[in-house]
Amino acid sequence: MKKKLFGQCAACNLEKPEERYRNISNYALEKALTGIAYEIHCPEIKVGTLFCNRCYCAIVEHNNYKKYKNNNKKRKYQRLVNNSKSVEELKIEIQELKGQLEIATKPMSPDNNTFIKYFNDKIQRLTTVLYNYQHREGNKPVLDADEFVTLIENRDPNLRDFFNLIYQSMNPNAKGWKTKESLKQKVMLLCYQMAALRNKQVSGTKNVIGLYMAGTGTSTVGINTLSNMGLSATYQTVYNNKKQIVNVYEQTIQEYISDNQQKLLIFNIDDYHDLHESRIPSVTSINRISHMATILLNTNNILPIPLSSTFHNPNGIDANLLKQALNFQYMTGFSNSYNAQKFNWISIKDVTTLNEFDLVETLVVHCYDADLSEKHVRRFDTTKLVDFILSDLKNMNDYIKVLIKVFRLSEMQSYLMNYIIPIPADFPGQLYIRRAIVQKLKYGNQCSIPKEVLSLVPILGPLHVSLNTREISGTKNVIGLYMAGTGTSTVGINTLSNMGLSATYQTVYNNKKQIVNVYEQTIQEYISDNQQKLLIFNIDDYHDLHESRIPSVTSINRISHMATILLNTNNILPIPLSSTFHNPNGIDANLLKQVLNFQYMTGFSNSYNAQKFNWISIKDVTTLNEFDLVETLVVHCYDADLSEKHVRRFDTTKLVDFILSDLKNMNDYIKVLIKVFRLSEMQSYLMNYIIPIPADFPGQLYIRRAIVQKLKYGNQCSIPKEVLSLVPILGPLHVSLNTRETAKPKPWRINLLLYLAHAGWSTIKSYIFARFKYSKDLGYCTFVDLLDNLIPATLDIYTILFRENNFDQYIETIFRLWTVMRRFGRKNYDKIMLALISDIQY
């Protein structure tokens, strides 16, 4: 594709993005030098000079350009003659052109008022046309620019092209089509303003703007400010117009009913809640939300339905009639699917066979966006707003008060004496209007309900059926609960609700209350359902470090220290409780020395890799397939986007509570444990079985301390007896993380580095041992210990040994890693690993 030239024209010195640009070639230079145009426009012309297309034609194609200009004048004159409908119109156009020519050629001076006279004449004619149209004939202002032009030119031919003159002066050619359409509307408004400045009686547009601004809630000061700018009527004028509209509006309703006496009228009452108003409480109310009732009448060309005294079923919703109809009319077809049944309906089209226009209309049928072109076929020219009044529509009396507003119209009374009116309504509308009809049928004149209700027939609105079959409030509730859980404000949740994305804050609050009320029962049911399974208990701390740390008057930060209480289960049988389960000596030093000397020290003389060679069932990480290898390396990465994580599920885990607690001492842990012990189902479980508690160092330390004190002092201490059914153990995950724990990099990257080191060592190990054999060199021994002992043990401890259920090898490797912790002085974990080995051996 040839590159488009662009730049500054050498002749006119302008940059025109919409213009075509051309370079001077050798041939073009020869043609240009045969004329004299280049001397005027660009004397320094040479090969490669850049011109816009207009200047290029004037300089290079000078002979053709002159011919074109002369021929263009002839063609324009001929077109003008051919397009004229009559000699008279042609003469008028010639006179106008002469007038415009005189204005264009005559220099303006203080003594020359030709243009002023011309413009004054046009504004006077424009004002006369608009004054007669609005003031004398009583018409509303024309608000469409094309219709406005047609109006003024048809009523006064001398105004022809006057609108276009003003429009062209706004440079429309440099604007897009949307801007051009907007510009036409602005020029039309300018014409109205100029006419109103000349004659204040031409104020129809200002009145319309003033009424609109008042309807949108603009203040008195705001409307008067717009009036001072010449854009609107004053607030007093707007108020008078509103009073006049109110005074005559009832008469327009009477005329509407009278004009449609021989047509079917349809009545609608619905509620409207102004939820966009302020909810800030005042002295007298908690919010400014308005609950309104909308009363509408509609009609069509169907004949009205005559009123009959037997129209309403005296049994109301007739159960016997329903059973009969369901059994003999609908149950036969109900045995088929809807599609199978629809196949028998010859005239019913399937949505997949519709043309594009009908398909779009079908899909956006419940979308009322005014910008959708498909919506333009929906018109309200047959609909009449009867009233818009303050009402909650929460009971039968509210509906009766609204209905009386319509019944008091004389034309409506005469209509209801002869015909019925259907009322498509939602559930409350049907319920309360039906209730009024039943009471009127039952008690007659003994009740105060007006007799006109018997001429109403509430029916289920098809629109309500369609919308309610699509209503998925569950998703909105979930989104609302999630947003509330992430700290979104009340205003934020209500804004999402107004956008149709979430439930309101009040609904979210009610849902949270309901969840809290029933949640304890769900925990009881969880424990009850798993009474014959091993329960596992977990308590851990959570610090909300992402909160603001700016000090306030009462605290130095807003960080929340929380305790998470979880229960989990699996299909293993529970472990029976025994009084001798806990070692009375706590961490038994004598037992540890005996086991370490006779059980682990023999294997400790070999490296981990050498010892693992004797474990037949243990795989090496370098032999795993790709999926298992990735799972092993990212085992400590909890990114939800990793497909490997999808196998980890929480469907057997139950959150018991999430409470404010530092978990810094034994009392903090006991307070958290009491939250679980008070559950009746948990008490019955702990009377028979033990519960393991995998925990980090503080969790083990303080729970073990509570157990030891309870064993030592019995009922003399306030520690609940249920702690004796708990068995704190060192969590395998904590072991694995602490062997890798560092500020940087992250655990998955450490795993990758360890794997690369291990895989490389496995490749060259045989060559290294063959070369150095049993060398006692310190550097050599250090690297062998690192590569053949520490790295493979760290890689295997969680993913290979623990998760593959190699328990004996896991405990032996715990002892090996304890020596590492001891060697490097890792506080806490150089002791707690011995506690695990002591408990296991006991």
pLDDT in tens, 442-470: 888 898 999 999 999 998 888 878 777 66
Residue 412 shares a structural domain with residue 434: yes
Torsion sign (Cα): 407, 410, 411, 416: positive
311-331 pLDDT, tens digit each: 888 777 888 888 888 888 888
Residue 428 shares a structural domain with residue 284: yes
pLDDT at 419: 92
Distance CA 213, CA 188 (A): 19
Percent of the chain scoring above 70 in pLDDT = 86
DSSP annotation of 446: G
Q: What is the distance, to the nearest Å, from the Cα of residue 770 to the centroid of all Cα atoms in its chain?
A: 67
CB-based contacts of 569, cutoff 8 Å, min separation 6: 530, 533, 534, 535, 536, 652
pLDDT at 606: 82
Residue 461 shares a structural domain with residue 479: no
Distance CA 695, CA 673 (A): 14
Assigned domain for 327 exists: no
Assigned domain for 489 exists: yes
769-801 pLDDT, tens digit each: 888 877 888 888 888 888 888 888 888 888 888
- pTM score, whole prediction: 0.46
Residue 393 shares a structural domain with residue 273: yes
pLDDT at 61 over 50: yes
pLDDT at 375: 53
User: Do the Cβ atoms of 211 and 242 come closer than 8 Å?
Assistant: yes
Higher pLDDT pick, 469 / 566: 566
Assigned domain for 341 exists: no
The mean pLDDT value for 551-555 works out to 61
Distance CA 839, CA 695 (A): 14
Query: Which segment of 46-50, 554-558, 571-575 scores lowest on mean pLDDT?
Result: 554-558
Torsion sign (Cα): 308, 310, 314, 316: negative
Query: Which segment of 28-32, 422-426, 472-476, 737-741 scores lowest on mean pLDDT?
Result: 472-476
Rounded to 10 degrees, the C-alpha dihedral 115/118/121/126 comes to -100
Domain span at residue 36?
1-83
Residue 181 shares a structural domain with residue 66: no
The mean pLDDT value for 18-32 works out to 81
pLDDT at 430: 87
Assigned domain for 720 exists: no
User: Do the Cβ atoms of 417 and 307 come closer than 8 Å?
Assistant: yes
- Domain termination residue (choose one: 66, 83, 100): 83
685-730 pLDDT, tens digit each: 999 999 999 988 888 889 988 988 888 888 898 999 999 999 888 8
User: Do the Cβ atoms of 830 and 822 come closer than 8 Å?
Assistant: yes
Higher pLDDT pick, 276 / 296: 296
Distance CA 465, CA 329 (A): 21
391: which 2 tokens? 């009402």
Q: What is the distance, to the nearest Å, from the Cα of residue 480 to the centroid of all Cα atoms in its chain?
A: 11
193-250 pLDDT, tens digit each: 888 888 877 777 788 888 888 877 788 888 888 788 777 888 888 888 888 887 888 8
pLDDT at 535: 92
The helix (H) or strand (E) run that includes residue 576 is none
472-511 pLDDT, tens digit each: 556 788 888 888 888 788 888 888 877 767 888 888 888 8
pLDDT at 736: 78
Assigned domain for 458 exists: yes
Three-state DSSP string of 591-605:
HHHHHHHHHHHHHHC
pLDDT at 16 over 50: yes
> Across the strands, what pairs with 22?
51
What does the DSSP assignment read for 217-255? T--HHHHHHHHHTTSS--HHHHHHHHHHHHHHHHHHHHH
pLDDT at 56 over 50: yes
Assigned domain for 46 exists: yes
pLDDT at 110: 47
797: exposed, middle or buried (C-beta count within 10 Å: 0-12, 13-18, 19+)? buried
Residue 464 shares a structural domain with residue 389: yes
Q: How many domains does the chain have?
A: 5
User: Do the Cβ atoms of 558 and 549 come closer than 8 Å?
Assistant: yes
331-344 pLDDT, tens digit each: 877 888 888 888 88
Residue 400 shares a structural domain with residue 462: yes
DSSP annotation of 556: S
pLDDT at 608: 82
User: Do the Cβ atoms of 538 and 732 come closer than 8 Å?
Assistant: no
78-122 pLDDT, tens digit each: 665 565 555 677 777 777 777 767 665 655 454 456 778 888 888
Assigned domain for 188 exists: yes
621: which 2 tokens? 């990480």
pLDDT at 815: 84
Residue 52 shares a structural domain with residue 76: yes
- Domain termination residue (choose one: 436, 468, 500): 468
Residue 295 shares a structural domain with residue 394: yes
Choose the most confident range, by mean pLDDT, from 44-58, 158-172, 270-284, 661-675.
661-675
Binning pLDDT at 50, 70 and 90, where does residue 1 land?
A: very low
Mean pLDDT over all residues of the chain?
Answer: 80
Residue 296 shares a structural domain with residue 413: yes
The mean pLDDT value for 289-313 works out to 85
Binning pLDDT at 50, 70 and 90, where does residue 548 land?
A: low
Assigned domain for 353 exists: yes
Three-class SS of residue 629?
helix
Residue 151 shares a structural domain with residue 195: yes
Residue 309 shares a structural domain with residue 420: yes
pLDDT at 207: 81
pLDDT at 104: 58
Binning pLDDT at 50, 70 and 90, where does residue 646 land?
A: very low
